[in-house]
């Protein structure tokens, strides 16, 4: 793995002086994108019996996507191959928005898979292949299957019932949409503004050649983080046992029943004819 | 492949985290609430990778692997709790557990 420190100054506008002029505008662009996204979320959240305003939602999402495209484009400057990165970022954020707003939980899970796959592609683009593929396997492969399992076990509705056509009423009504959207978007806008505003200095680029990322990551995990890896394994096992202990259904065995009966009381509970 | 991507990664992470917070606060279905926490984990992970790229080493990605582990643990335990609660109340509505407020 070789580090290229500021290989080409033009690939990152953020590193150079001209950045200062762009910053103030960029902060407002971050605010605008977050505000549009917040409006989209507010409009799109399910509201009881009122029909969902999908048209307005998609218009707001498209506007937010346009503004975000402009933002990412300005940040990335003239680096090559930026279009896939931008498109995948927008896909990921859009999928997350739709996941939160969709009134049917199964569709939420599917949109979550979309977010995972888009993030995976972003990570692969940025040279973090191992983490990306681990993400796809663990999330889209394992965790999501568990979620869908639990969903299908616990949200059964009979055909032609209200719940079948329109979803359960607790899925159709959001709780405190205004304040939640305000809090979350304020949080995202503040963090985004800080990220854009700060001069991160020279950006060191990890240049990765085929498969080297996995080797390097394995080496660092097995040396520097060896104890943490072991602890993570222990944690997984403890969580597995805990999940079994929490979720098991208590079914009394025949032995338990017989043992609980006191001596000499064998036929007492039999009803007299 | 060289690209000045860390800031984009970090912004995507921040937005995903914000969306996850909103989802956790607004949705009443317990499973969707847990999905929203997974979205928040995604945001943190993306942010960690971005920071790691900024530093130029692999510490960020190593921490990302641990985030993955914690997310898996959280999903397993969380879903076990959801299943247990569903058996007791017969609903996935988080408001069904209002009596638990202190």
Percent of chain A whose predicted confidence (pLDDT) is above 70: 71
Residue B81, domain CATH: 1.10.287.3510
The region that residue A156 occupies, defined by phi over 0 for left and psi between -120 and 50 for alpha, beta otherwise, is beta
Domain count, chain B: 1
Predicted confidence band of residue A159 (pLDDT cuts 50, 70, 90):
low
User: What's the burial of A166, exposed, middle or buried (CB within 10 Å: 0-12/13-18/19+)?
Assistant: middle
Predicted pLDDT at B102: 61
User: Whole-number mean pLDDT of chain A?
Assistant: 78
Cβ neighbours of residue B83 closer than 8 Å, sequence gap 6 or more: A150, A153, A154, A247
What backbone torsions phi and psi does residue A199 show, to the nearest 5 degrees?
Answer: -85, 110
Which of B5, B25, B49, B86 best tests the A interface by mutation, with the highest count of A CBs <10 A? B5
Please check the confidence at residue B8 and state whether its pLDDT lies above 50. yes
Q: Which of residues 31-60 of B touch A (CB under 8 A)?
A: 31-32, 34-36, 38-39, 42, 45-46, 49-50, 52-59
Predicted pLDDT at B1: 41
B31 occurs within a structural domain? yes
Which of A185, A246, A249 best tests the B interface by mutation, with the highest count of B CBs <10 A? A246
Q: Say whether B1 and A125 touch across the interface (CB within 8 A).
A: yes
Domain containing residue B67: 8-90
Residue-wise pLDDT for A60-95, tens only, equals 888 888 888 888 887 777 667 788 888 999 999 999
B81 occurs within a structural domain? yes
Residue-wise pLDDT for B33-86, tens only, equals 999 999 999 999 999 998 888 877 788 899 999 999 999 999 989 898 888 888
- Residues in B closer than 8 angstroms to A128, CB to CB, are 49, 52-53, 61, 64
Predicted confidence band of residue A161 (pLDDT cuts 50, 70, 90):
low
The region that residue B6 occupies, defined by phi over 0 for left and psi between -120 and 50 for alpha, beta otherwise, is alpha
A2-208 has CATH 1.20.120.1200 classification = yes
* Distances A187 to A99, A263, B72 between C-alpha atoms, Å: 19, 66, 25
- Return the domain boundaries, chain A: 2-208, 210-248
B78 occurs within a structural domain? yes
Q: Say whether A200 and B39 touch across the interface (CB within 8 A).
A: no
Please check the confidence at residue A4 and state whether its pLDDT lies above 80. no
């Amino acid at each position: 793995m070789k580090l290229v420190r500021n290989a080409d100054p033009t690939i990152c506008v953020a590193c150079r002086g001209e950045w200062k002029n762009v910053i103030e505008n960029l902060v407002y662009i971050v605010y605008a994108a977050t505000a549009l996204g917040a409006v989209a979320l507010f409009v799109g959240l399910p509201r009881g019996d009122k029909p969902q305003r999908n048209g307005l939602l998609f218009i707001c999402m498209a506007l937010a996507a346009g503004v975000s495209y402009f933002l990412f484009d300005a940040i990335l400057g003239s680096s090559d191959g930026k279009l896939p990165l931008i498109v995948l970022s927008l896909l990921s954020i859009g999928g997350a928005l739709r996941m939160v707003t969709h009134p049917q939980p199964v569709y939420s899970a599917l949109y979550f898979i979309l977010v995972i796959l888009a993030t995976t592609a972003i990570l692969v683009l940025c040279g973090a292949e191992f983490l990306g593929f681990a993400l796809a396997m663990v999330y889209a492969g394992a965790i999501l299957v568990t979620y869908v399992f639990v969903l299908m076990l616990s949200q059964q509705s009979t055909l032609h019932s209200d719940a079948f056509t329109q979803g359960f009423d607790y899925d159709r009504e959001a709780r405190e949409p205004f304040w939640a959207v305000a809090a979350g978007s304020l949080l995202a806008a503040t963090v985004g503004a800080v990220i854009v505003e700060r001069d991160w200095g020279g950006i060191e680029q990890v240049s990765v050649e085929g498969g080297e990322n996995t080797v390097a990551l394995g080496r660092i995990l097995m040396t520097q983080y060896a104890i943490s890896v072991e602890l993570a394994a222990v944690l997984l096992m403890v969580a597995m046992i805990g999940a079994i202990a929490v979720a098991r259904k208590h079914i009394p065995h025949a032995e338990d029943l017989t043992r609980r009966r006191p001596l000499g009381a064998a036929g007492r509970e039999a009803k007299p004819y | 492949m060289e690209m000045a991507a860390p800031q984009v990664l970090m912004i995507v992470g921040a937005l995903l985290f914000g969306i996850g917070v909103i989802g956790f606060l607004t949705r009443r279905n317990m499973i969707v609430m847990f999905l929203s926490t997974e979205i928040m984990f995604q945001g943190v992970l993306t942010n960690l990778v971005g920071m790691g790229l900024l530093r130029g080493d692999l510490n960020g990605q190593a921490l990302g692997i641990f985030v993955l582990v914690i997310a898996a643990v959280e999903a397993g335990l969380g879903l076990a709790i959801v299943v247990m609660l569903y058996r007791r109340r017969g609903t996935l509505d988080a408001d069904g557990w209002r009596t638990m407020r202190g």
